[in-house]
């Protein structure tokens, strides 16, 4: 994790989240002769590097790992407060940090709680692990015609360690699914019935849950690859372009302040959907679609108490990660007729104060969340300044973002649907559902979207190579070109598999 940067490698990967880790893993498997340098702007906060912080048993150590992930000023602040709350106050979830400015332009909706993480493993050290497959209009038609999308999704599930049985012992999981199915399954095809959520999590032999982070994506084959090295606290400031193609990067050691050039045949920018286009912009790589088609998923939440429930003596004690398990995680799949993706799971605490003598059984408070797809428009975008900089010294961002009339109609319908589904499970704890501040989903997409041709509406090819810049690849959720409601990580990893294989093939030809 330390030492002088190499002068030259075959592949540079910028960012250590699941998409960047996918490039390292696939290249380690399919092109093991290549030398790979991965640079991460944030620190190492967990072991093995990139592991999910939920796997840290000690609450104090877990909190410290989250704090260290909270951006360029993480170690300077003494009053950081995580957790988005139901007020007008802007707060970040633990392990993330908000845009300090530029998150909302006057007269627009903006993304008031747009957030990022800076740490080895990226947001995958803090995520919920939900890995549903896209369905219907969420799917990428360009990759769907020959069945390649499903093959890539299969690979994504392998790399992320996706399972559906981790919560099978939860005492209320089947009850929740049965009640939701009775209210929702009619008219749905079997593949979109109410079901267990695919999760990047598995259960150890001692019964404790292990959540997947980038460490799982790396796998032993990457960690044992002597030609792969990961440098943390290393800020890539610019991609080098020579003779029209990627030639390496300029990287700053954040500990010493030393600047270095690292030459490479291929460069993969896998920062996130906000910082990947930022780095391209800073490098003078500015295709028309860069930063455009930015989309978030409006998130509606509702809470109920499971109806007619006898207290269960099971799952009373939290596991090593402090999580009690009662109702599991249930999936309401997206369909074009029901354009929402739903997650239903036990809440750690009731959002409504309960009386001390309230007989609610432990684990009986269930949260429902519906994610709404965005009406895509080119004008929803992140712009970058040529003058002002952010806390890392990179071009400052300004978000332009508006909900369309169609978006507002979908959100209004989502509020009705979540109440209907909630009442099927139990008794509502509040009269109305709540829409989280825009940006709360952390599912930003579209800013480096792929396309069939260099027509000005896409940044990269289906193999994720930037149009007009051979050897430069982009990765992560920003590459997804469709309006999705489902969690995007699985799809982002699947697309990274496609790009990594393209590099392996090109390297074999040269």
Q: Decide if pLDDT at 397 tops 60.
A: yes
Single pTM value for the model: 0.94
Condensed to tens digits (0 to 9), the pLDDT of residues 464-475 reads: 999 999 999 999
Q: Decide if pLDDT at 276 tops 90.
A: yes
The pLDDT of residue 174: 94
The DSSP symbol for 191 reads G
The pLDDT of residue 85: 39
Asked if 470 and 245 count as a contact pair (C-beta separation under 8 A), the reply is yes
The pLDDT of residue 323: 46
Helices (H), 161-299: 173-184, 214-223, 275-282
The pLDDT of residue 259: 94
Condensed to tens digits (0 to 9), the pLDDT of residues 78-100 reads: 455 444 433 456 788 899 999 98
Degrees, nearest 5: CA angle 488-493-499 = 130
Annotated active-site residue in 52, 126, 400, 443: 443
- Residues constituting the chain: 510
| Region of residue 137 (left: phi > 0; alpha: psi -120 to 50; beta: else) | alpha
Residue 174, C-beta contacts closer than 8 angstroms, at least 6 positions apart? none
- Cis peptide bond prior to 33, omega within 30° of 0: no
The pLDDT of residue 2: 45
> Which residue did the predictor score with more confidence, 147 or 154?
154
Q: Among 86, 71, 127, which Cα is nearest to 437's?
A: 86
The pLDDT of residue 321: 44
Q: What's the rounded Cα separation, in Å, for the pair 489 and 160?
A: 9
Mean pLDDT of 324-334: 86
Q: Which residue has the tokens 């149009």?
A: 467
297-311, 399-413, 423-437: range with highest mean pLDDT: 399-413
Domain 8-83+90-509 has CATH 3.50.50.60: yes
The pLDDT of residue 86: 39
126 carries an active-site annotation? no
In terms of C-beta density within 10 A (0-12 exposed, 13-18 middle, 19 or more buried), how is residue 387 classed? Answer: exposed
Q: Decide if pLDDT at 152 tops 50.
A: yes
Distance set, CA 409 to CA 107, 301, 435, 455, 480 (Å): 20, 17, 13, 31, 24
pLDDT > 90 fraction of the chain, expressed in percent and rounded? 83
Q: Among 88, 89, 70, 72, which Cα is nearest to 80's?
A: 70
In terms of C-beta density within 10 A (0-12 exposed, 13-18 middle, 19 or more buried), how is residue 108 classed? Answer: middle
The residues that bridge with 142 in the sheet, in sequence order, are none
In terms of C-beta density within 10 A (0-12 exposed, 13-18 middle, 19 or more buried), how is residue 321 classed? Answer: middle
DSSP reduced 3-state for 415: helix
Q: Which residue has the tokens 């990022």?
A: 116
Q: Is the dihedral of CA 273, 129, 230, 9 positive or negative?
A: negative
Q: What are phi and psi of 100, to 5 degrees?
A: -75, -25
């Amino acid at each position: 994790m330390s030492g002088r940067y190499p002068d030259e490698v075959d592949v540079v990967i910028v960012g250590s989240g699941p998409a960047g880790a996918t490039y390292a893993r696939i290249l380690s498997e399919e092109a093991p002769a290549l030398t790979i340098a991965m640079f991460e702007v944030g620190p190492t906060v967990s072991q093995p590097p990139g592991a999910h912080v939920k796997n840290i048993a000690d609450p104090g150590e877990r909190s410290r790992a989250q704090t260290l992930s909270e951006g360029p000023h993480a170690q300077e602040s003494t009053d950081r407060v995580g957790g988005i709350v139901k007020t007008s106050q802007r707060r970040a979830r633990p392990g993330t940090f908000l845009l300090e400015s530029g998150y909302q332009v006057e007269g627009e909706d903006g993304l008031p709680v747009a957030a990022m993480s800076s740490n080895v493993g990226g947001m995958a050290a803090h995520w919920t692990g939900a890995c549903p497959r896209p369905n219907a209009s969420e799917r990428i038609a360009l990759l769907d015609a020959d069945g390649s999308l499903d093959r890539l999704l299969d690979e994504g599930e392998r790399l992320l360690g996706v399972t559906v049985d981790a919560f099978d012992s939860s005492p209320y999981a089947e009850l929740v699914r049965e009640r939701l199915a009775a209210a929702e399954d009619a008219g749905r095809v079997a593949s979109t019935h109410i079901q267990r959520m695919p999760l990047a999590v598995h259960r150890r032999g001692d019964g404790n849950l292990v959540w997947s982070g980038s460490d799982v994506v790396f796998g032993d084959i990457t960690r044992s690859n002597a030609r792969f090295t990961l440098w943390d606290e290393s800020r890539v400031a610019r991609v080098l372009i020579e003779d029209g193609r990627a030639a390496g990067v300029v990287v700053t050691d954040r500990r010493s302040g030393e600047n270095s050039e690292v030459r490479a045949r291929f460069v993969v920018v896998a920062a996130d959907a906000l910082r990947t286009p930022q780095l391209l912009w800073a490098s003078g790589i500015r295709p028309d679609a860069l930063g455009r088609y930015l989309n978030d998923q409006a998130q509606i939440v509702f809470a109920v108490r499971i109806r007619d429930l006898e207290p269960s003596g099971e799952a009373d004690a939290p596991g090593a990660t402090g999580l009690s398990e009662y109702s599991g995680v249930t999936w309401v799949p997206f369909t074009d007729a029901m354009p929402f993706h739903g997650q239903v799971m036990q809440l750690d605490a009731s959002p409504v104060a309960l009386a001390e003598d309230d007989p609610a059984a432990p684990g009986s408070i269930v949260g429902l969340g519906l994610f709404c797809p965005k009406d895509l428009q080119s004008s929803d975008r992140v712009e970058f300044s040529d003058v002002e900089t952010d806390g890392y010294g990179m071009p400052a961002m300004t978000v332009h973002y508006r909900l369309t009339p169609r978006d507002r109609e979908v959100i209004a319908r989502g509020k009705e649907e979540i109440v209907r589904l909630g009442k099927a499970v139990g008794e509502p704890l509040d009269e109305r559902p709540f829409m989280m501040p825009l940006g709360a989903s952390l599912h930003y997409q579209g800013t480096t979207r792929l396309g069939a041709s260099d027509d000005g509406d896409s940044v990269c090819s289906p193999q994720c190579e930037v149009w007009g810049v051979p050897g430069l690849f982009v990765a992560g959720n920003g590459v997804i070109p469709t309006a999705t409601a489902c969690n995007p990580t699985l799809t982002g990893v699947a697309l990274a598999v496609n790009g990594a294989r393209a590099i392996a093939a090109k390297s074999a030809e040269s």
